[in-house]
Structure 1
Amino acid sequence: MRRTPPATRTLFPPPSRAAEALAAPPEPAAPADSVDPVDPTDPVEQERETALARLFERHYTSMLRLAALLGADDPENIVAESYYEIYRKWRKLRDADRAESYLRSVVCNLTRMRIRHLQIVRKHAEPPPVEWAVSAESTALLHDDQRALINALRQLPPRQREALVLRHWMGLKEGEIATAMGISSGSVKTHTARGIAALTQVLENRR
């Protein structure tokens, strides 16, 4: 999915799954957190559009890198869906710091769900599992990272991988990692320590 400059659009386009949901016949009762009809003259709506455009400019690349490092096979789709989720929940957030933190959490959750789904699909599929493949844009983002380290990172359990990526690639503090992962600070320490030990073991076995 190609990035579209925020100045040329008013909505972050939802990925295919979200688009299909929007195209489906309306339910009898809309969910409480559904997107309200957009009124471009509404000051609150204008504030949301401005804040989301700024959030997109500042964090799109880092969120794309995060999704790719966490193991998403379609990081652009994950990030697009995450921004769409932010758009839907903006009236509840209304704060740039909370929005950034929530965005990271959504990227982590969606990536985790995506990986779990692919594991189930591939487990029951007759053909052998498809080799790891990422888009050209994601490959470019990861070009400067050591290939051996990235490959070793992908072999870790999801929680350990998340803890290490958020700490050492994203540079988050322990409390921020706990918020993004939806776990306690103590669990962050545990996953980080185990992740480092496992990563070291994987790298040593490659020698």
Structure 2
Amino acid sequence: MGIDDEAEFSSFVQGRWNGLVRTAYLLTGNRHDAEDLAQTALTKVYASWRRVRRSDHPDAYLRRVLVTCNIDRFRKRRPHEHPTDELPEPYGPRQGDASHQVDQRQVLLAALAGLPPRQRAVVVLRYWEDLSAEQTAAALGCSVGTVKSQAAKGLAKLRAFPGLHPLTPAAPLEACHDQA
């Protein structure tokens, strides 16, 4: 890769790093995994940079690589779950407590972590990244119908998540968006 390509890629990364890590965090639920995932995605994009930069939508390509790398993580190893006899203390907004938005965010992240990777990717791209169904389908390499069905299933699971029901259907993502 030439010096101009290196500079262009470096500029591309600098302009997208924070948003990329934020999206990766929503997909992984862990800051360290998110940074690793973002770096892995950027490594793959770097390898194809000449072709990617000529495409009409390098951001969509990067998001698709990010989601694919996240799905690959699950293929290689399953996250470790630790079943217990006791349920964790339920989250809920406390009257007069300014930290209730942090609590809401934690509940949302726990709910997102409970979704299968494909549903989580659709919900994050559609409702957090505010992509259209068509843009989400392009990023995931699937049909618009698949995006719609995965979004419906994912939202149904989020609505059924115990800690989210005090929140309105649109509030979880909007209330926590600025904090990611």
Give the alignment's TM-score, normalised by structure 1.
Answer: 0.62
Q: Quick check: 2:28–2:70 contact (8 Å CA) kept in 1?
A: yes
- Distance in 2 between the 1:144 and 1:46 partners? 46
- List structure 1 segments (4+ residues) > 3 angstroms apart after TM superposition: 203-207
2:120 pairs with one of 161, 172, 175: 161
> Would the alpha carbon gap of residues 144 and 54 (structure 1) be closer, same or farther in structure 2, given more than 3 Å must change?
farther
Partner letter of residue 154 of structure 1? A
- Could you tell me the percent identity over the aligned residues? 31
Offset of residue 72 of structure 1: 5.9
Aligned partner (choices 3, 8, 19) of residue 62 of structure 1: 19
2:143 matched residue in structure 1: 184
For the Cα contact (< 8 Å) 2:37–2:70, is it kept in 1? yes
- Give the deviation of 1:204 after TM superposition: 5.9
Report the Cα distance in structure 2 between the residues aligned to 1:66 and 1:193, rounded to whole angstroms: 20
**Residue 116 of structure 1 pairs with residue 75 of structure 2:** yes
Aligned counterpart in structure 2 of residue 171 of structure 1, from 110, 115, 130: 130
Of the candidates 1, 4, 8, which is equivalent to residue 51 of structure 1? Answer: 8
RMSD across aligned C-alpha pairs, in angstroms?
Answer: 2.5
Unaligned runs of 5+ in 1: 1-37, 39-44, 130-142
Shift of 1:64: 0.7
Q: TM-score, normalised by structure 2?
A: 0.71
Q: Which has the larger radius of gyration?
A: 1
Q: Which runs of 5+ in 2 are unaligned?
A: 84-101, 167-180
Aligned residues: 146
User: CA-to-partner distance for each residue in 1:126-172, whole Å, 9 max, x for gaps?
Assistant: xx58xxxxxxxxxxxxx696111111111111111111100111111
Matched, 1:99 2:58: yes
Q: CA deviation at 1:175?
A: 1.4
**1:8-30 Cα distance to aligned partner (Å, 9 max, x none):** xxxxxxxxxxxxxxxxxxxxxxx
